[in-house]
A = this chain, B = another copy of it.
Amino acid sequence: MTTFTALSIRIDTNGGRRRMVTSRDVARVAGVSQSTVSYVMSGRRSISAATRRRVEAAIEELTYHPNAGARALASQRTQVIGLVVPFTPGADTTGLLPFIETIASCAREADHDVLLVTANEGSAGLKRLAGRSLCDAIVMMDIETDDARIPVAATLSVPVILIGVPADNAGLHCVDLDFPLAGRMAVDELAALGHRRVVLVGHPAEVVERGVNFVGRFERGATDAASAHGVALEVVAPVAPGRDGAEAAVEQVLAVGGERPGVVVPNSQALQPVLQVLMDRGLHPGRDLSLIALCTDAAAEAVTPAATNVSLEPRDVSRRAMQILFQLLDRGQEPPDELVQLIPPRLTRRRTTLPSP
């Protein structure tokens, strides 16, 4: 325990805001040089046990925290990951949280923080993040097929990882769910349950127009599986918002799907309304037909009755993205050669599919 003498009394010249504790203060208290304090903290050179102990005691005593700005300035590393998230108007904000959460957790595990930027800033947000050295790397979500931000992202001075697969990734690493496989798994399951006709409810027009390309990738996987199994597959118009939309969609499903159709609803927004309308007509999913949703497990369980689903695996996708990101940051670690990394979905049987034959 160090005793503070009268010498350490100082006039407050700082407007009442207490002066920050610096590594020099720690050095003085520990009786070492300032750089030694730095090396104790970074572990970038060996320190004798005795010195380390004294420095650590001083750090503790003064409750020293390194200044992030100064550290970033000197080391050229911010220890911050920029995260570009979709902004609501038009974006599928549902199920966004698990991504954010997982990304934040992975960042913290590697002693990094997460700076949030909303997508409405567009390319300007990316330029700001990199230009001002606000972060060491960027994760971009909600990638469109023809995303105008990608050419910009590719020229930034920091690595960028995409969650989503654009038409041209411009050399950037991408991580996403394996949507073709997801489509295949849904149709495989329906075929195995004995359905000879499968109806796929389309995605909302706004999503398609925005060019979110998992739509096409999912449908292609479903189509392929259908021809492989020799089952008929029809794609019907998407569910418009509101009760009427669900009515119209179910109408079409029944028209083209005939009796006992297998139904695929790749849209968590529409799931509950569609289930509701079906049941209102006396058609019980799990008894009179099978329905498989494409959504997170949470959404599948929140719905009545709990829906059999192919999961979106937001945590797996995010974790993989962060893994690649830190491989890119740590010189020495090799990122994967394959730029596009697809995460396998998982099918969970719940109450909306017929029992296995």
Contacts and interface: CB of A to CB of B under 8 A. Distances in A.
A286 interface: no
A68 B304 contact: no
A67 B73 contact: yes
A304 B272 contact: yes
Interface in A179-219: none
Interface string A103-135: 011001000011111100100000110011110
Interface string A305-338: 1100000000000000000000000000000000
A1 B23 CA distance: 45
Given A97-B96, A116-B83, A17 B303 contact: no
A46 to B, nearest CB: 25
Q: Which 9 A-B pairs have the closest CB atoms?
A: A65-B131, A69-B72, A69-B73, A68-B132, A69-B69, A276-B304, A114-B116, A65-B132, A68-B134
A76 to B, nearest CB: 8
A67 B115 CA distance: 16
A134 B121 contact: no
B128 A118 contact: no
8 contacts: A18-B157, A20-B133, A63-B131, A65-B127, A67-B73, A68-B69, A88-B101, A113-B134
A100 interface: yes
Contacts of A133: 20, 65, 67-69
Interface of A: 17-18, 20, 63, 65-73, 78, 80, 83, 87-88, 93, 96-98, 100-101, 104-105, 108, 113-118, 121, 127-128, 131-134, 157, 243, 269, 272-273, 276, 302-306
Contacts of A73: 67, 69-70, 73
A83 B133 CA distance: 20
A96 B97 CA distance: 8
A116 B118 contact: no
Given A65-B127, A305-B243, A113 B113 contact: no
A279 to B, nearest CB: 9
Given A87-B101, A97-B97, A101-B87, A272 B70 contact: no
A112 B172 CA distance: 28
Contacts of A273: 304
Contacts of A93: 97
Contacts of A97: 88, 93, 96-97
A116 B117 contact: no
A69 B104 CA distance: 21
A114 B115 contact: yes
Contacts of A67: 73, 132-133
B116 A104 contact: yes
A286 to B, nearest CB: 13
Nearest to A21: B131
Nearest to A351: B243
A85 to B, nearest CB: 8
A101 B117 CA distance: 10
A71 B98 CA distance: 33
